Amino acid sequence: MSYALLIAFPVALGASCFLLRKETQLVIGLSVAALMVQLALVLFTPVDQPVRLLGLTLNLDPLGRLFLAGFPAVTALMVLATQRLPQGEHFISIALIIIGVASAIVVLLQEPFVVALLLVSAGLLSVLAIVDLPTGAPTLVAPRVIASALKYTVLMAFAGALAYMGFVLINVYRPGISLDQTAPRLVLALMIVAFGARIALVPFHSWLPDLVEDASPLASAMIIVVLNTTGLLFLISVFQFFPALAAENERGLQLLTWLGALAALVGSCLALVQDCPRRIIGYLVVYNAGMILFGLATTSPIGLAGAVFEALNQALAVPLLMVSLALLEQPDGRLPKTMRRNMLWRWPIAGSGLLGSGAALVGLPPLSGFASKMLLYDIAARRGVFLLILLLGATLLAMLALARIARDWLTGAPEDQPISETPLLLGTTELDLPPKRHLAPEPFIAGLVVLTFLGGILAIGLYPQPLLETITDVIRGLTFVRGES
């Protein structure tokens, strides 16, 4: 019953918010309260007590609970930030429904066919958030936004079709009985391509930088945090329920570790050569996707713990990155065409949020990404020095890309120097004078949201032990994990 409630409650609240969507403040308050209730529901739901409903098995494992608790908490903070950040009319209702679908995915992980389709449905639903406009917006949807939404739709539908096909083949193929050696390889390849398209792994990444560049930052954050992360849980559950995929694909998994490391390197290289800050940020997430695949493909306790921890880190860092980005892009009282290069000094909280989240994403101490990256470097070092060099090189390039954002946008000198007052001449009217500068202060609530996220990232970075222990406990129970511990 409580599992069904986890799914139905946010969906019902999402529908209510849709009906009330014109009442922005009411919807924000209602949705934050609903998300807090959802968080409490997740925390009080018993784990590992499978039940049958409509012929399906529902279960919540500790790892699923960890992520399901994170989603409403992070989304509530993002929703709070929408008080000052312009968002699509339907953003909040879509976010709540996506949380409901994500809950369904997590509790139905034992039903791979259903989960593959739910992931597609959630992806299609989020398309509405991508092309959404604020209530009563006087502008049109930009063609590039429609292009990004279309690209995302096609790739997500394909990812779903490939995953579904993989399960059909698993259904046909009997692990350990069939003499056909192609089937497990083909299934693994289908799953990895589906997973790669979902988490924006090089070379299936092209949708993500476009999305980050064109869509509203919070819609992008919602997609990256909730849908990409559930994609990771999905792949872990596939390996868990079909361990033959890992056991009969030793070389395939070895190849995947290299592909993951290379994907991270290519992602960070591409981040470095971008001109637009939004695209740099998009490619930093692509770099991170490579790191996650690397950890997962090692199928070792350390690597897997690193991958899961990294996904959690991403779920915290990306919303902070996007909220800070949205804040820094707000008009601050200067003329629209003025180059703004001093945002760290001008709006220090948002500037620090951007730098902090970027640093967490690339794994700088003492932030949350440091622990996960150390686990990944550890397993890379055990697997070979070249792998370690690849990962370190990727991180170094990602750091340079982040430094570029800081130099170009955050720490420079202000481009518009205050004009010295000239004495009034005879016959001068108000129209002859330059407009008075009213530089806006940093929005209070959005600033508070940024500080909360920063605090969370710092706290996990300084004290990662409780999270790591939970992750390690869960990983110990996974059947496909082997090797170095």
Partner 1 sequence: MLDIHINWAIVSLTVSSGVVLLLRDWRLTVPALFINYLSVAWFLDQQQFIAPDLTIGGFSLSTTIVVKVITGFAASAILGITAITFSREYNLEDLDEFSLAELRRAARRAQRQRASEPFRLSEYVVPFWALVLAALASLALPRLYPIGSQTVDFAWYWLGLTGLFTIVIAGDTLKIGLGLLLVVSSIDLVYTAIASTVQVFPLALLSLTTIVLSLSIAYLSGLMYGRLKTLDLSALYKR
- Segment interacting with partner 1 (CB under 8 A) among 44-52, 124-132, 215-223, 357-365: 124-132
- Which stretch in 75-83, 122-130, 311-319, 359-367 sits in contact with partner 1 by CB under 8 A? 122-130
161, 392, 400, 448: residue in contact with partner 1 (rule CB under 8 A):
161
Give me the least distance between CB of 268 and partner 1, in Å please: 27
Number of residues that bind partner 1 (CB under 8 A): 40
Binding residue for partner 1, selected from 32, 56, 189, 396, defined by CB under 8 A: 56
Spatial contact of 248 and 184, defined as CB atoms under 8 Å apart = yes
Closest distance of CB 186 from partner 1, Å: 8
- H or E, element range at 399: helix 385-405
Does position 25 interact with partner 1 (CB under 8 A)? The reply is no
- Nearest CA-CA partner of 302 in 479, 458, 471, 65: 471
Nearer to partner 1, 176 or 434 (CB): 176
Q: Does residue 168 touch partner 1 according to CB under 8 A? A: yes
CA angle 480, 482, 485 (to 5 degrees): 135
Looking at 2, 37, 86, 158, which residue binds partner 1 (CB under 8 A)?
158
111 near partner 1, rule: CB under 8 A: yes
Nearer to partner 1, 165 or 448 (CB): 165
Q: Which of 33, 36, 43, 154 binds partner 1 (CB under 8 A)?
A: 154
- Nearer of residues 4 and 392 to partner 1, judged by Cβ: 4
Q: Which two tokens stand for residue 287?
A: 């770099």
Instruction: Say whether residue 114 binds partner 1 (CB under 8 A).
Output: yes
Q: Rule CB under 8 A: is residue 146 a binding residue for partner 1?
A: yes
Residue 160 interacts with partner 1 (CB under 8 A): yes or no: yes
CB of 380 to partner 1, least distance (A): 35
- DSSP labels for 30-69? HHHHHHHHHHHHHHHSPSS--EEETTEEE---HHHHHHHH
241's CB contacts (< 8 A; 6+ apart) are 110, 112
From candidates 1, 25, 52, 138, binder to partner 1 by CB under 8 A? 138
Least separation in angstroms between CB 426 and partner 1: 38
DSSP 430: G
113 binds partner 1 (CB under 8 A): yes
Question: Judged by CB under 8 A, which stretch of 92-100, 163-171, 310-318, 354-362 contacts partner 1?
Answer: 163-171
Q: Of the two residues 90 and 278, which places its CB atom closer to partner 1 in the complex?
A: 90
| Residue 124 makes contact with partner 1 by CB under 8 A | yes
Q: Which of 4, 32, 69, 169 binds partner 1 (CB under 8 A)?
A: 169
Q: How far apart are the first and last CA of the chain?
A: 38
Nearer to partner 1, 206 or 342 (CB): 206
Which residue number, 169 or 381, has a Cβ lying nearer to partner 1?
Answer: 169
The token pair that represents 382 in the structure block: 């055990």
One residue of 20, 37, 69, 117 binding partner 1 per CB under 8 A: 117
346 Rama class: left (phi>0) / alpha (psi -120 to 50) / beta = alpha
The full 3-state SS of 352-389, as one line of letters, equals HHHHHHHHHHHCCCCCHHHHHHHHHHHHHHHHCHHHHH
Long-range Cβ pairs for the range 475-481 (8 Å, 24+): 475/301, 475/304, 475/305, 475/308, 476/301, 478/236, 478/239, 478/240, 478/304, 479/240, 479/243, 480/239, 480/240, 480/243, 480/245, 480/246, 480/247, 480/299, 481/299, 481/300, 481/301, 481/304
Would you count residue 127 as binding partner 1 (CB under 8 A)? yes
Using CB under 8 A as the binding rule, whether residue 214 contacts partner 1 is answered as no
Q: Which is nearer to partner 1, 190 or 200 (CB)?
A: 190
Q: Are 147 and 203 in contact, with CB atoms under 8 Å apart?
A: no
Exactly one of 165, 389, 403, 448 binds partner 1 (CB under 8 A); that residue is 165
Q: How many distinct helices (H) and strands (E) make up the chain?
A: 20, 2
Cis upstream peptide for 203 (omega within 30°): yes
Q: Does 143 bind partner 1 (CB under 8 A)?
A: yes
Q: How far is CA 338 from CA 125, 130, 408, in A?
A: 37, 28, 14
What's the rounded Cα separation, in Å, for the pair 391 and 354?
Answer: 23
Quick one: tokens of 392? 């370190």
Nearer to partner 1, 103 or 314 (CB): 103
Token pair for 351? 């500037």
Judged by the rule CB under 8 A, the positions of this chain that interact with partner 1 are 54-56, 111, 113-114, 117-118, 120-121, 124-125, 127-128, 131, 136-141, 143-144, 146-147, 149-150, 153-154, 157-158, 160-161, 164-165, 168-169, 171-172, 182
